[in-house]
Structure 1
Amino acid sequence: MATPTRLTDAELLSELEPRAEAYLNRHMDMVEMWYPHDYVPYGDGRDFESEPWTPDQPTLTGVARTAFFVNLMTEDNLPSYHREIYAMFGKKDSAWMTWVHRWTAEEGRHSIVLRDYLVLTRQEDPKKLEDGRMSVMEEGYEKDGKNTLRGMAYVSFQELATRVAHRNTGRYSKDPVADRIMERISKDENLHMIFYRDMLNDAKHVDPNGVVEAVADEVIGFQMPGAGMPDYNRMAMQIAIAGIYDLRVHHDDIVWPILRKLGIFEMEGLDAAAEKRRQELADFMAALDGMATQFEEKRAAKAAKAAAREQQLVS
């Protein structure tokens, strides 16, 4: 059987547009309209001029506040994401463009509800939130020359990662208001992931070699879109130590579910370049699993030492 031809971005988008329209219609049938003001306790709001924010006002733990801050800063960068996805699906008057605008509108609600919650409940210094927003938006986000297949692969993993990070943050917060907000946002993120994942799954029947290479590239080089924000590495480590989003979560709950859905390791008839990248992907997944186990063991050992020290102090 002849090796499938590699498609240009324009050819791929044209070939897949009927599926994009079908998935857009499916999304519109499944999505639920919701309003940020229904999720935020506006009655708790006070005037900052007469009662300035002070560090003793938050009720969330420091790690929960860090996770909420990272999540909000990530959502705040929406204008950059819109620009990049618009360019990726650059077919005007098409189902692709209808999806891009709908996706952007839905994503915009996430930063609205997160910021309103954090400000009204005084969980974070509003000046810090605004300084952070300015910083991440001035930094922006660039897809670094990714073609359409790599862009589809990235957003498939990224949307699922965001869903899981948001949902775990809500649970970790122990705040029913925060948990409800994060659960609501996560439902949107899940539907967004399904659109991109299923588009990528259809693309493998059009350009299987390109899909395998794109998936390998994005898994091996994956970074959350907030990785460019100041002090990100320190905050990400705090979040990982808390178990909100760590290597095990990334391996088990993000990457593997999509790889299984796509059937990446079951695909046949690939060319030599795609086969090479698929083997590199398999090797990377094995190494990631090992790193996740090491991190879990170190975290458990550190927790055990801390518990032993605390017990000594009590006795």
Structure 2
Amino acid sequence: MTIAPVQRTATTAWTDARLILALEEVVETELNRHLKVAKEWMPHEFVPWSQGRDFDGVLGGEAWSIEQSKVTPLGRISLVVNLLTEDNLPSYHHEIATMFGREGAWGAWVHRWTAEEGRHGIAIRDYLLATRAVDPVELERARMAHMSEGFESDNAHSMLQSVAYVAFQELATRIAHRNTGHHSGDPLCDQLLAKIANDENLHMVFYRNLLKAALELAPDQAMRAIADVVINFRMPGHGMPGFERSAAQIAIGGIYNLRIHHDDVLQPVLRHLKVMEVTGLGPVGQHAQDELGAFLAGLDTQATRFDERQAALLARRAAAAAARA
């Protein structure tokens, strides 16, 4: 993708306001492309309502207990993390609306993205409650605690950092949903999360293509933003109660870990953008590119060590299970 009317300019010339204005046409093009390929789907069609029944409380139904659900323990943990992440949509909307604005093509995209993301939380919560996959009381308490804290990105301090962050984060979210479905133990859950993951992939493509345009327009600033985001990346749900423990279990279980993050999130986006092949950079961009290359090499080494520890742990668990059998 190229932006013919706009030429590369000195790094200091590209303020956030100028970049937003210069990329407006790209946003409009990507929004129109997105609207053509996005398929309408109805969250309620993916929820097995026939499995639902009243809970205890006001309606005097049946109290929740863990044996009522067919979802695996790992699937349950990841579903809750995924749902609580989706629940913070008001904060995410505020972040991108404040950064990108609510007018023109940017505003149209912000609102469309928010509308599509909104159905993810609706569908997952409906599924969890209809199938009694989680304790509804604990889920609601966790939602209240997480949303009461809100969300403020620690990766995005500029327009380019915001675009770079969501390009990687949307792909990470897609993979987290897809792998959660695979590990859920319920084909209906897998089917629902596959649909949600498809939305996330389309969102990733939008932001990735926008980042590509920014990299061509302001290569030094964009390279610096990409390096900063990759090096400091954290998932948006990191502030939720018990996140570190849940993330560790999700990592060991193979839903999302360092190897997946390196191989299936960072590398595909960076390869598509040809980030390590960009030439003609100034001192700022060149330093960022070198720093990024060194970080990726180190992350790959860390991921290999994690793979070894994970394999050893799973082997010990399998041996212990065999001994008990």
Q: TM-score range by the shorter chain?
A: over 0.9
Q: TM-score, normalised by structure 2?
A: 0.93
Match of 2:258 among 233, 241, 247: 247
2:79 alignment partner, SS class: helix
Say whether 1:110 aligns with 2:120.
yes
Contact 1:3 1:270 (C-alpha < 8 Å) held by counterparts: no
Match of 2:131 among 113, 121, 132: 121
1:243 alignment partner, SS class: coil
Cα drift, residue 278 of structure 1: 1.4
Q: TM-score, normalised by structure 1?
A: 0.96
CA deviations over 1:219-258 (Å, ceiling 9, x no partner):
0000000000011000000000000101000000000011
CA distance in 2, matches of 1:312, 1:100: 55
Contact 1:86 1:100 (C-alpha < 8 Å) held by counterparts: yes
Cα drift, residue 304 of structure 1: 2.0
1:146 alignment partner, SS class: coil
Say whether 1:40 aligns with 2:47.
yes
Structural mapping, 1:67-146, within 5 Å: 67-90=78-101, 92-144=102-154, 146=157
CA distance in 1, matches of 2:30, 2:252: 37
Contact 2:69 2:131 (C-alpha < 8 Å) held by counterparts: yes
Query: Which residue identity does 1:43 align to in structure 2?
Result: S
Q: Which residue of 1 aligns with 2:15?
A: 8
Q: Which residue of 2 aligns with 1:218?
A: 229
Distance 1:283 1:307, change over 3 A: same
CA distance in 1, matches of 2:316, 2:153: 42
Query: Which residue identity does 1:76 align to in structure 2?
Result: D
Query: Which residue identity does 2:146 align to in structure 1?
Result: V
Contact 1:3 1:269 (C-alpha < 8 Å) held by counterparts: no
Structural mapping, 1:1-315, within 5 Å: 4-6=10-12, 7-48=14-55, 49-90=60-101, 92-144=102-154, 146-314=157-325
Query: Which residue identity does 1:45 align to in structure 2?
Result: G
Cα drift, residue 306 of structure 1: 2.8
CA distance in 2, matches of 1:53, 1:311: 31
Query: Which residue identity does 2:291 align to in structure 1?
Result: E
Cα drift, residue 78 of structure 1: 0.1
CA deviations over 1:120-170 (Å, ceiling 9, x no partner):
100001111111111111111112461100000000000000000000000
CA distance in 2, matches of 1:310, 1:53: 28
CA distance in 2, matches of 1:110, 1:313: 40
Contact 1:4 1:208 (C-alpha < 8 Å) held by counterparts: no
Query: Which residue identity does 1:236 align to in structure 2?
Result: A
CA distance in 1, matches of 2:54, 2:228: 49
Query: Which residue identity does 1:169 align to in structure 2?
Result: T
Q: Could you tell me which runs of 5 or more consecutive residues in structure 2 were left unpaired when the two chains were aligned.
A: 1-7
Give percent identity, aligned residues only: 51
Contact 1:155 1:196 (C-alpha < 8 Å) held by counterparts: yes
CA distance in 1, matches of 2:302, 2:162: 26
Root-mean-square deviation (CA, aligned residues, Å) is: 1.5
Moved more, 298-307 or 195-204: 298-307
CA distance in 1, matches of 2:252, 2:177: 16
1:143 alignment partner, SS class: coil
Cα drift, residue 60 of structure 1: 1.2
1:230 alignment partner, SS class: coil
CA distance in 2, matches of 1:13, 1:167: 32
Q: Could you tell me which runs of 5 or more consecutive residues in structure 1 were left unpaired when the two chains were aligned.
A: none
The number of residue pairs the alignment matches comes to: 313
